[in-house]
Each structure stands twice: as C-alpha cells, then as structure tokens.
C-alpha cells in the first residue's frame, strides 16, 4: 500500500472557503513556523506580582545612560515604570485626566456626514464617524528620559528618572494625541492644539522651546489631508505620519523650513495609535481592512489571513489594536478584539523573515519587543505583566495547528487510511486527530486523537481529511512532513 506524504506548506491560509484552503494549515494557536518547521511558541510567566490600575494600552523599553534597563507601561489612568530588577514605580503625573478604557461612539439618526447612507436609517454600530477612541499612551524616550502623552489628557509629560512622577514639559503644546521623538532629537506633537491635522515640534535638543524663531528649529505644520492624524513611526529617511485615510513622510531639511511633508500613500489609514511597528523592512501597520508596509513606498502587505482577521474584527473597538516586534523570531504581532469581544483576545503574526503568517487566541492588550530584556513582554487587561517566549506554560491552553481538507480519494472512490508515519523530533510530543468527510459540507467524522508511535494505526475512510496536531507535552516539539498509508476503496 502506498505511503502518501502530507506535504503541507508553512504558514496559515484562511482566506476564502474551507475547501479552498485544502492542503494548507488553516487554523492554529500558539504555534509558529520557524525556518519552515511547525513548532510551539514558548510560554509565559508573570513578571511581577503587582497588579496595575487601569487597562494597559502601551509599553515601551529603553536604557538610561548607565545601561540600566527600563520598561514603561501606560494604562487609561496611570503610568508605571519597571526597572530591570522589577522594582515598580507609579510615575503617574499629577492631575492626569484619565480616559475611557473602551472606544465609545454615537449611533442613531443624525450621526455622521449629511447624505451618507440611506435617509432616515440609523447608522450601523460599527460606524466610526463619531467615536472617542479608547484612551492610550504614546511613549518614546528623549535620551534617557521617558516622554509621553495620554490621548485623553493631551499634555506632554517627561519623566527624568530621578523625580517621583512625570511632569508637564514646559511650553509644550496641549490638546495632543501622540508623540514621536525623531532621529534629529526633535519631538513631534501629533494632533496638537486639538487640531486633528496639526503637528507641532520643538527645537532640536531643546524640548522646552516650541515657538518658531530664526534662532531655533521649532515649528508646526498642518497636513494637507482630509484625515485625522492617528500615529507615526520613525523610518529610514524620515518620520512616517499615518492618518485614518493616508500616509505622509516628514523629511528633515534643516533651516529655514526644518521639515518637508509629502503624502506617500492614500487609502492606507491606520487602525489605531498602537498599530504600527518599525522593523528592518520598514514600517508595517494594520489598517481598517488590510495590512500595509512602507519601505520607501506605501504598498499593501499581502496576507493569506486578512479576510479571516477583518471579517471577525470588532470594528467598534478597533482603536484597541496594538502591535509589537518579536525580533528574536522576526515577527510582527497584532493584538486585536474579535467577534463581540471588547478586549483584545486574538493575534495575527507576520514573519518578515519567511513571509508566513500565523493566527491564534491570546488575551493580551499590549506588548513590546524583547530587545534589551531578552524576551517579549506583554500585559493583560487585568493589569498583570508577563514575560513571553519563556518555558512551556500556557495557562491550560494547548498549542495546535489544523489543516484545511486534503484530498485522499481518487474521483468518486473512497480512500482507506490505515497507518500514519509521523515526522517528529521526539515521538509522543504531539497527538494527531483526523476529521474525514465524503465531500465539502458533508457531515464530519472524527478519528483520534492518536498518540504517535513509529507506525501509528489510525484506520478510517473518506474522500477528504483534515489533520490536527496538538501539543501533548509542554515541550519544544517539532512536526515535519507526516505520511499516511492510503488504499483506494470502492465508490459510495
């Protein structure tokens, strides 16, 4: 009897129907394809016992001049700093205006632009025409000092490491939505003066001078856009500014104009303040209906899971989307709320080294690259900080991956599968479950899970089959190309 190799390419494919994704990995969680091989992501452990106040939405890591490592975490009501020894400091500025933990909006008659949609009909709940985003911190470092702004407060704060709390930067603009420290050591205040298209910036190396003069490089610019500034990122050759509809590049010129602003993309608006990540290939971000990359030009980031992500995205809470770079594995992770969840409960990850995608379930509201701390750090909605990519603890969840339907029958004939020949690094680390059907949309029959041995008896019939592998042990398992012993049966 012939052995048929289940040659399943790396990466998730979830666009289209189940049958269209035949022979590919379709569903998964807590796994990755590293160098093309299926394996579990590492687990997590609680970093500190302290519980933070508020819903965390932003994280930032940096070093001070003597090399001490710091982690900042911002919630909708507080700002915290962790020294590498896990000493927690509450550095919340005095009189901070806390914001909403959720995105809020108006629905019903009269909401939105005149003439939009059908006359007399209420606007859909997902309408983002009149919304207040979930409050989030925008954080960066000014040398060894931390700077940031909470969108609901609008003032730019600085924490100088020695002071107990962060304080307002003198003369800085108010009504600010976000900040970026450019490569030229100038702070960009995004959406300054409550103008959704305005950018103010300070003098070079002097964050207390914001009024333009012939003797400094402070200034301001109102972008030529119909959109609202959402976020930005440092990129090679400038600073990328993303609105909710387009993208602009700020290029440093020096005196007298200081910066030039050019629109570099349209129809590529950002989903949220935290949705953009800077990596070697450029800046990548999540929009409202697709993924985008800027690598000298704005272009769509082709994704075989985009249809799945955006059909299941809770658009009424899209401003909660956050992203981070997992540089150890060359991945960008987006955390997003799906279905009717009001918090981020799923993730989509893109490997920029292998150009493969993975998906999964994970209750995390923000994350940051391992970088100076050695492993990624994420935080939960209930205010606990976790080290990730350590050990094999998943709090009761099991890493798994499942394929779409694989054709094993010839024509109208049934196929009889009698044996599975596994390809594992250590036999017994995973189990295998088969789900067989006679044709698409027919009733399914489940076989297994099977504990794998060198030759595993399975015995089932069908014309198409799905394979699911699940971690049986909390270990560093690997799954390669399995083979099945198939005999063609009769018609049915």
What H or E segment, with its residue span, contains residue 310? helix 306-312
Residue 71 has pLDDT above 70, yes or no: yes
Residue 110 has pLDDT above 50, yes or no: no
What H or E segment, with its residue span, contains residue 484? strand 483-491
Q: Alpha-carbon distance 192 to 149, whole Å?
A: 11
Check residue 350 and give its pLDDT: 98
pLDDT tens digit sequence for 210-257: 999 999 999 999 999 999 999 999 999 999 999 999 999 999 999 999
Would you say 381 and 365 are in contact if contact means Cβ atoms under 8 Å apart?
yes
Of 60-69, 75-84, 98-107, 443-452, which range is least confident?
Answer: 98-107
Domain boundaries 3-40+399-491, CATH class: mainly beta
Check for a shared fold between 3-40+399-491 and 44-388: no
Peptide bond into 154 cis (omega under 30): no
pLDDT band of 438, cuts 50, 70, 90: confident
Q: Alpha-carbon distance 303 to 104, whole Å?
A: 29
- Strand arrangement, sheet containing 385-388: 44-46, 385-388, 377-379, 366-368
pLDDT band of 421, cuts 50, 70, 90: very high
Q: Could you tell me the end-to-end alpha-carbon distance of the chain, in angstroms, rounded to an integer?
A: 21
In 3D, which of 227, 226, 214, 289 has the Cα closest to residue 257?
214
Beta strands in 327-471 (DSSP E): 331-336, 346-351, 356-361, 366-368, 377-379, 385-388, 400-403, 406-407, 413-421, 430-437, 445-451, 456-462, 464-471
pLDDT band of 466, cuts 50, 70, 90: very high
pLDDT band of 109, cuts 50, 70, 90: very low
The stretch 418-444 carries a mean pLDDT of: 86
Q: Alpha-carbon distance 180 to 42, whole Å?
A: 32
Which CATH number fits the domain 44-388, given the four candidates 2.130.10.10, 3.40.50.720, 2.60.40.10, 3.40.50.300?
2.130.10.10
SS3 content of the chain, % helix, strand, coil (to 5): 5, 45, 50
Q: Alpha-carbon distance 212 to 205, whole Å?
A: 14
Secondary structure letter of residue 51 according to DSSP: -
Q: Determine how many CB atoms are found less than 10 A away from the CB of residue 422.
A: 21
Read off the tokens for 196: 């959704």
Check residue 425 and give its pLDDT: 82
Residue 106 has pLDDT above 90, yes or no: no
- Is pLDDT larger for residue 488 or for residue 326? 326
The stretch 428-432 carries a mean pLDDT of: 92
pLDDT tens digit sequence for 4-40: 888 899 999 999 888 888 899 999 999 999 988 999 9
Q: Alpha-carbon distance 300 to 283, whole Å?
A: 12
In 3D, which of 19, 7, 10, 27 has the Cα closest to residue 464?
19
Q: Considering the entire predicted model, what is its pTM?
A: 0.92
Question: What are the sequence ranges of the domains in the chain?
Answer: 3-40+399-491, 44-388
pLDDT band of 123, cuts 50, 70, 90: low
| Best-predicted range by mean pLDDT (339-353, 416-430, 445-459) | 339-353
Residue 129 has pLDDT above 60, yes or no: no
Check residue 29 and give its pLDDT: 98
Q: Alpha-carbon distance 354 to 350, whole Å?
A: 9
């Amino acid at each position: 009897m012939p052995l048929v190799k289940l040659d399943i390419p790396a990466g998730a494919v979830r666009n289209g129907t189940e049958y269209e994704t035949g022979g590919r990995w379709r569903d998964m969680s807590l796994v990755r394809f590293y160098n093309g091989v299926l394996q579990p992501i590492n687990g997590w452990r609680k970093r500190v016992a302290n519980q933070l106040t508020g819903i965390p939405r932003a994280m930032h890591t940096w070093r001070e001049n003597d090399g001490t490592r710091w982690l900042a975490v911002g919630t909708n009501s507080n700002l915290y700093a962790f020294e590498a020894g896990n000493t927690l400091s509450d550095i919340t500025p005095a009189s901070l205006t806390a914001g909403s933990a959720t995105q809020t909006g108006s629905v019903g008659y009269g909401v939105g632009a005149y003439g939009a949609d059908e006359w007399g009909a209420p606007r859909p709940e997902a309408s983002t025409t009149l919304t207040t985003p979930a409050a989030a911190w925008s954080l960066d470092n000014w040398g060894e000092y931390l700077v940031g702004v909470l969108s609901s407060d609008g003032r730019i704060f600085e924490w100088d490491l020695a002071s107990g709390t962060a304080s307002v930067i003198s003369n800085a603009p108010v009504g600010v939505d976000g900040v970026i420290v450019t490569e030229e050591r100038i702070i960009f205040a995004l959406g300054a003066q409550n103008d959704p298209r305005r950018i103010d910036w300070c003098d070079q190396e002097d964050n207390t001078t914001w009024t333009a003069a012939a003797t400094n490089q402070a200034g301001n610019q109102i972008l030529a856009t119909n959109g609202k500034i959402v976020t930005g990122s440092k990129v090679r050759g400038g600073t990328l500014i993303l609105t909710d509809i387009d993208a602009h590049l700020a290029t440093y010129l020096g005196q007298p104009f200081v910066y030039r602003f050019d629109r570099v993309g349209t129809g590529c608006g950002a989903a949220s303040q935290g949705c953009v990540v800077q990596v070697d290939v450029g800046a990548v971000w999540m929009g409202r209906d697709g993924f985008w990359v800027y690598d000298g030009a704005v272009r769509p980031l082709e994704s075989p899971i985009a249809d799945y992500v955006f059909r299941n995205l809770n658009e009424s809470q899209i401003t909660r989307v956050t992203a981070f770079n997992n540089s150890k594995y060359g991945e960008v992770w987006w955390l997003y709320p799906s279905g009717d969840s009001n918090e981020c409960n799923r993730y989509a990850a893109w490997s920029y080294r292998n150009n493969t995608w993975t998906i999964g379930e994970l209750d995390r509201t923000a994350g940051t690259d391992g970088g100076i701390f050695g492993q990624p750090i994420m935080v939960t909605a209930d205010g606990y900080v976790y080290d990730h990519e350590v050990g094999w603890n998943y709090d009761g969840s099991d890493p798994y991956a499942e394929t779409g339907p694989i054709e094993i029958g010839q024509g109208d004939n049934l196929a009889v599968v009698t044996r599975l020949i596994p390809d594992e690094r250590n036999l017994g680390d995973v189990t295998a479950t088969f789900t067989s059907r006679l044709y698409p949309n027919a009733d399914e029959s489940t076989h297994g899970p099977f504990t794998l041995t060198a030759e595993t008896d399975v015995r089932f019939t069908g014309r198409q089959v799905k394979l699911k592998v699940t971690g049986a042990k909390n270990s560093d398992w690997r799954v390669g190309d399995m083979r099945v012993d198939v005999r063609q049966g009769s018609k049915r």
